[in-house]
Chain A
Amino acid sequence: DVKVTQSSRYLVKRTGEKVFLECVQDMDHENMFWYRQDPGLGLRLIYFSYDVKMKEKGDIPEGYSVSREKKERFSLILESASTNQTSMYLCASSFRAGGGNSPLHFGNGTRLTVT
């Protein structure tokens, strides 16, 4: 089975702090994703990476950056955390499938609270 591991289940950070959320997948997937999940808003894509050192902005990239130095690891960075970034953050990965689509496999999420 594919395993997507997010380093923290719960995080509490202060406004203005720099926050790193780490994600590792063990199935050699090319694609990796960061989503946030909020009640009533569903899943929203923050950033997407289809290869090492490659990234694309999703629907809500403002206030976030990402890093993909190795194929298995995709990091989400909050440069200066704000209270409106309090959310559940979900990492996912998938095969590239020849430019088509294949299922995303998700981690169990990091619940971030910014105070």
Chain B
Amino acid sequence: GESVGLHLPTLSVQEGDNSIINCAYSNSASDYFIWYKQESGKGPQFIIDIRSNMDKRQGQRVTVLLNKTVKHLSLQIAATQPGDSAVYFCAENNAGNNRKLIWGLGTSLAVNP
């Protein structure tokens, strides 16, 4: 399933399916992008980041895609598991030391068994 992070805040998928969470970022000068996962009662947990000189980066079961032409960022989660249920945030930055991180409002991912 797909979701536009800022406009459809809830995504529901079946266990085992792939999930795609989308983010439209605002500043064409942004050069660093990052995804976080926040479980209930916990702080945000770093998932994966990507710099603007790349268009794809893979981690364990996750892939981040960056399309600078349309200012779009996506997080793909392969074989979604119940433990992936959380709120996912994207953030963009265009200044050093994370001074100007701009955060999305988050997408809630619900994994159905």
Chain A residues near B32 (CB-CB < 8 A): 100-101
| B interface footprint on A90-105 (CB within 8 Å = 1, 0 otherwise) | 1010101101111111
Which B residues fall within an 8 A CB radius of A? 32, 34, 36, 41-46, 49, 89, 93, 96-99, 101, 103-106
Q: Which residues of B have CB within 8 Å of A107?
A: 43
Among A90, A96, A108, which residue has its beta carbon within 8 angstroms of that of B97? A96
Complex contact B43–A40 (CB within 8 A)? no
Pair B97/A106 contact, Cβ less than 8 Å = no
Report the Cα distance A106→B36, complex, angstroms. Answer: 10
Question: In the complex, are the beta carbons of B97 and A104 less than 8 A apart?
Answer: no
**Chain A: interface size category:** 20 to 34
Q: Which residues of B contact A56 (CB under 8 A)?
A: 99
> A42-B104, A100-B32 are known contacts. Are A106 and B99 too (CB-CB below 8 A)?
no
With A4-B43, A101-B34, A101-B96 already in contact, 20 other A-B pairs whose C-beta atoms are closer than 8 Å: A33-B98, A41-B105, A42-B104, A42-B105, A42-B106, A43-B89, A43-B103, A50-B97, A90-B44, A92-B43, A97-B97, A99-B97, A101-B93, A101-B97, A101-B98, A104-B34, A105-B46, A106-B36, A106-B45, A109-B43
